[in-house]
Amino acid sequence: MMTRMPEPRFLTLADVAEILATSVAQVRALVQRGDLRGIQIGGRGQWRVETVELEAYIQRMYDEQDRAGRAEPERTPQDH
């Protein structure tokens, strides 16, 4: 029987970027603006995002989208 490794508590900005399918620069901007909570660790000030904070951010984005009313996807000329 194989033992599963527990999910990491903290993610690097690169990890978060991969999960959100965006760039590290975009994730860094989200953290620096305070949209996504993160902490700086170590002498070099590397950012880490707790997995629960990432999940909370994703839920907030869904909630905001629901409040704003979901916009229809952009239509391509082929859709007309």
- Residue 74 phi, psi dihedral angles, 5° rounding: -60, 140
> For the chain, what is the radius of gyration of the CA atoms?
17
Q: What is the pLDDT of residues 21-36, one digit of tens each?
A: 999 999 999 999 999 9
Average model confidence (pLDDT) across the chain: 89
Facing residues of 12 across strands?
48
pLDDT of 37 = 97
Indicate the pTM of the whole model. 0.76
- Cα 5 to the chain's mean position, in Å? 22
